[in-house]
Amino acid sequence: MSESPLFVKTYDFLLYLFPLTGKFPRSRRQSLTLRIERGALALHEHLVRAALSKDETAAHLREADAVLALLRFRLRLAKDLHAMATGSYAHATKLLDEIGRLLGAWKKSVRGRAT
């Protein structure tokens, strides 16, 4: 599990994200920052639960996908509110795109096993 590329990329995203959100303006810390950080941790949690679950893997992957979509939206909002630089946003979305591709492949493989 921890050696899987998806888990490595998610961990890399978390390592990048937390120092970044720590630099958000104070006025955004209790709302946007908190939701972004909690969402990123929820993404990781759903992935772990999917990896450890035998019969609920697909449900956890769907939840992870939904959290990923929310993270993308919240990061775009943070950029548009000037809480983060455009370059930081570009790097964060690049990391999320890689996570999304790996998550999509996992979802596809689970779907293939179910049929």
pTM tops 0.75, yes or no: yes
Q: Is the pLDDT of residue 1 over 70?
A: no
H or E element that contains 103? helix 86-114
Model confidence band, residue 111 (pLDDT cutoffs 50, 70, 90)? confident
Percent with pLDDT over 90 in the chain = 84
What pLDDT score does 55 carry?
Answer: 87
Q: What mean pLDDT comes out for the span 81-86?
A: 95
What pLDDT score does 38 carry?
Answer: 97
Q: Is the pLDDT of residue 28 over 60?
A: yes
Least confident of 30-34, 36-40, 64-68: 30-34
Q: Is the pLDDT of residue 114 over 70?
A: no
String of b and e for 53-85 (b: at least 16 CB within 10 Å)? eeeebbebbebbbebbeebbebbeebbeeebbe
